[in-house]
Amino acid sequence: MSKIAIYPGTFDPITFGHIDVMQRASQMFDEVILLIAVNSNKKNVFSEPERVEMAKIALSHLPNVKVDFFKGLTVDYAKNANAHTIIRGIRAVSDFEYEFQIALMNKKLYSGVDTIFLAPDEKYTYLNSSIVRELARYSEDISAFVPPNVAEKLNQKFHPNKENITKFKLK
């Protein structure tokens, strides 16, 4: 039986912190699914298809990783995908408290799933999608935080009438 894990989140957009977690998870499991999920408490900048496309490109170097989208409870997706592990990225103790509650609820809803917490490399512990979006909105250099395809999409989203913001340093 293959070991399948899912890494759910909104990934609006995917960052190098997310990619770092996925790279390590891909070494631990036979298959890892980056699950782009709907969070009703968030207003996303990118549509589901845009987030899926950006993630697929950003993770294309990982052969045992796939990207999917799901509206519903993560545990329902886990059951259907025969995944027994949910991966959650945590950057700080404050993340752990919230994520631990979610992990306990997921276990209650589906006893066949466990949650593991992975911290990104220390150089990404301060990084999140909200910060990246805000920097992009003000044309700051985000090349150290997201892959070139994501930087380009952010540029198009926030500055649609400009060819290219030079600070983005697209490679």
Contacts of 160 (CB under 8 A, 6+ apart): none
Does a structural domain hold residue 164?
no
Does a structural domain hold residue 53?
yes
Q: Rounded mean pLDDT of the chain?
A: 91
pLDDT at 92 (0 to 100) = 79
Does a structural domain hold residue 151?
no
pLDDT band at 166 (very low <50, low <70, confident <90, very high): very low
pLDDT band at 164 (very low <50, low <70, confident <90, very high): low
Predicted structure pTM score: 0.90
**What's the total number of domains in the chain?**
1
Which CATH number fits the domain that encloses residue 48?
3.40.50.620
Q: Which amino acid is at 29?
A: F
pLDDT band at 41 (very low <50, low <70, confident <90, very high): confident
Q: In whole angstroms, what is the distance from residue 159 CA to residue 139 CA?
A: 8
Active site members: 18, 42, 91, 129
Collapsed DSSP state (helix, strand, coil) of residue 51: helix
Sign of CA dihedral 156, 38, 133, 17: negative
Range of the domain at 66: 4-126
Q: Which amino acid is at 30?
A: D
pLDDT per residue over 113-157, tens digit each? Answer: 999 999 899 999 889 999 999 999 999 999 999 999 999 999 999
